[in-house]
Amino acid sequence: MEDWFFETGLWILVAVVSAIVSFLLLRFSMQKLLPRVARGLGGARLLELLADQQKSAAKWTEMLLGLAIAVGAGLAIAAELGADITVVNTRLKDFGLDAGFWMATHVLRSVVIVVLVLAATRAISRILPPLLRTGMSRGKQGTEQDEALKRADALAQVSLYAASAVIWLIAGVMVLAEFGFNLAPLLAGVGIVGIALGFGAQHLVRDMITGVFILLEDHYRVGDVASVGGKTGMVEAVSLRRTVLRDLDGIVHMIPNGEITTASNYTKTYSRVNLDISVAYKEDLDRVIRVLNRVCIDLSESEYFSDLIVEPLRVLRVNSFDDSGIGIKVTGVTKPIRQWEVAGELRRRIKREFDREGIEIPFPHRTLYWGGQSQPQDKSMAAAVRPTTTLPDPGQDIILPADPWVQEMEAQAEGRDQDDETPVRMPEKLMDNLDEIRKLLKRSPVALFTPIDGTLSPIASVPRFARISPAVRQALSVLSRRMTIVILTGRDVSSARSLVGLPSAIYLGSHGLEEWERGNTTIASGVSVVSRDMRRLVRAAKSALGSISGIEFEEKPFAVAIHYRQAIDRAGAREAVLGFLEKSPHTAGLTLYEGSMVVEMQVSSEVNKGTAIQLVVEKHQIKTALVLGDDMTDVSGFNMLEHLRETAGLAGCNVAVTGRRVAAPPELISAADYQLDGTEAVEIFLAWMAAEVG
């Protein structure tokens, strides 16, 4: 019995299994491969034409081919059992076929080869990825482990593709040999093609091999700041073929891995602050070092920056004697990619402390000497060459003329506008009335409503360049634990969240049309995104105002802003913008808002900053509201607080943010209870309030 099984039964079993596998492969081909071929040849149209007939055609095809497979397997089994199939073979030999022998010796072997290949590729796909993931993530935790797993998955994918290609190539050669193909010419042709492809794709192969080692050795990862191929920026993507960097200008650089000879990672594992501070030669170095170490300790122990600093900042040594001063080196270790933020805050604090201590930071001085000139005999010529302003005496410092924009804004802030003689009631200084604020803070729940540009952040020449200082971020973070922080801005919610970076805050964007709270975004009813008329307005505005230098257009989800901050003649630019909008036929259904050197056309709605404040107060049952504002769009918020104080018993105050560089409108100042002198005063007030409630 055992001998019969190994001599006959085993081949019968192989024939049955091969027939079943062949039929299953046939069904898979009919159901999956044929539609793909049809899609490639004729697209969706061919699929539609075949859709009605596909089921019936596939059914009959499966039946006929399945019958052929069954007959072939039956003949092979009958031959193995000793049955006389001579008549069948004789008939088939007339057509050049020997069914039993051919089925038993070639088709079945080919099927066995395919089955073994499928099993091998399946086994490799199950075994290789876990092995790579385990090996590359061993000993790592947190973010490092996640990055190691990503690299392992990338390498596993490449390895599987390579292994599958090799296995199927070998299997294909074996199957062709079973069918009697002469492989010598085929292999020779493949060799020639391989050589040609090798020459043509050598750069691609080099890129991919280098990419494997980059991933395997963890040179850098997504999110690192690195210098690669002569370009420096943040790594946005790493693949087998290329590395993608984005520099500080937002330019994306795609660098083939094969061209990388040196890679410098600025943020791997940790980063280092390395500052050279220069002081005047007259200063007492021991005193300077004590002051610097005190600043370093205060920064290292502060609530926000202590989480970013790994090794405390300290004075390392007196580093150099320079032309203008003595260089002192300050170093420290931070978390990856945080060194620039820490260094910027350290510079700010050092400058403030040096000013307080009277320590001089040297800078090059230049003295201009004015030589005499011969006097022309012609008095008219003498008048022509005589300077219109008095020149300084030799050795006297020269004072350069002030920035016209600064003069303009200072004139507005100090009430020098000759055309407006209406007196404006100036509110009291907020920092002189902190006792009143202290009383308000005791009545909770408290909410702080604040815009961004002109209040939390100075007005930038271009909106996307606006930045919020770390001190303001830290103060808002502390305040958010004791009160509701509401960012009420003309920016869209996405831009506001990215700039402020406070997850616990409520963001009311587009002057109240958008609300973001705890991951949920809602839009005021009846409001749609930028309409076709608004797009036409933008095109017409660019055509009409494009010749005015310094005008910039900002398209938002519900509005279009026209900024004239960079215009040389700001008054003329503002007049041109307002004149265009007044005559434009595309402003129907839009509301005009005018802010600090910006005119904005927004989708008309009953919602404004005032109604947005009312909704938050009612939703969160706010008892005390502090409302900050700096331009005309904030007047509705001030008026709403006044209304709620009179009708709902809400406590609170309106604070106008003004100053020498920000000319707050008279309507805002008249509605304010207190004033803060610029964004610097806002930073000081927020820090005081954080210390008060924290």
Q: What DSSP string runs through 278-301?
A: EE-TTS-HHHHHHHHHHHHHHHHH
Higher pLDDT, residue 486 or 236: 486
Class (C level, CATH) for 271-357: alpha beta
For the domain made up of 422-527+605-694, give the CATH fold.
Rossmann fold (3.40.50)
Minimum mean pLDDT range among 66-75, 143-152, 381-390, 473-482: 381-390
Evaluate if residue 555 carries a pLDDT over 90. no
Minimum mean pLDDT range among 23-27, 322-326, 327-331: 23-27
Q: What DSSP string runs through 371-417?
A: ---PPPSSHHHHHHHS-SSPPPPTTPPPPPPPPHHHHHHHHHHTT--
Class (C level, CATH) for 529-604: alpha beta
Report the length, in residues, of the chain. Answer: 694
| Tokens linked to 139 | 């000993």
What is the per-residue pLDDT for 666?
83
Residue partners of 124: CB distance under 8 A and separation at least 6? 160, 163, 164, 167
Q: Which of 64, 58, 60 has its CA nearest to residue 28?
A: 58
Q: Is the dihedral of CA 500, 506, 508, 514 positive or negative?
A: positive
SS3 label, residue 428: strand
Confidence band of 409 (pLDDT split at 50, 70, 90): very low
The reply to whether 529-604 shares the fold of 271-357 is yes
Higher pLDDT, residue 550 or 67: 550
Strands 252-256 and 242-246: antiparallel
Minimum mean pLDDT range among 162-176, 229-243, 399-413, 522-536: 399-413
What is the per-residue pLDDT for 143?
59
Higher pLDDT, residue 461 or 115: 115
Evaluate if residue 319 carries a pLDDT over 80. yes
What is the per-residue pLDDT for 366?
55
Is pTM beyond 0.75? Reply is no
What is the per-residue pLDDT for 288?
92
What is the per-residue pLDDT for 72?
65
The side-by-side arrangement of strands in the sheet containing 624-629 is 428-429, 674-677, 651-658, 624-629, 446-450, 484-488, 506-509, 514-517, 520-523
* Residue whose entry in the numeric block shows the structure tokens 């930073």: 683
What is the DSSP code (8-state) at residue 578?
H
Q: Is the bond preceding 445 in cis, omega lying within 30 degrees of 0?
A: yes
Evaluate if residue 565 carries a pLDDT over 50. yes
Half-sphere exposure of 1 (CA within 13 A, CB side): 0
**Spatial distance between the Cα atoms of 658 and 666, rounded to a whole number of angstroms:** 11
Q: What is the pLDDT of residues 621-653, one digit of tens each?
A: 999 999 999 888 889 999 999 999 999 999 999
Domain boundaries, the chain: 2-83, 271-357, 422-527+605-694, 529-604
What is the per-residue pLDDT for 613?
94
Confidence band of 570 (pLDDT split at 50, 70, 90): confident
Percent of the chain residues past pLDDT 70, beyond the cut: 69
Evaluate if residue 593 carries a pLDDT over 50. yes
Provide the mean pLDDT of the chain: 76
**Spatial distance between the Cα atoms of 183 and 81, rounded to a whole number of angstroms:** 34
Confidence band of 387 (pLDDT split at 50, 70, 90): very low
The residue type at 424: V
- Which long-range contacts does 536-542 make (Cβ < 8 Å, 24+ apart)? 536/586, 537/584, 537/586, 537/587, 537/590, 537/601, 540/580, 540/584, 540/586, 541/577, 541/580, 541/581, 541/584
Confidence band of 374 (pLDDT split at 50, 70, 90): very low
What is the per-residue pLDDT for 392?
39
What is the per-residue pLDDT for 461?
67
- Which long-range contacts does 126-130 make (Cβ < 8 Å, 24+ apart)? 128/156, 128/159, 128/160, 128/163, 129/153, 129/156, 129/160
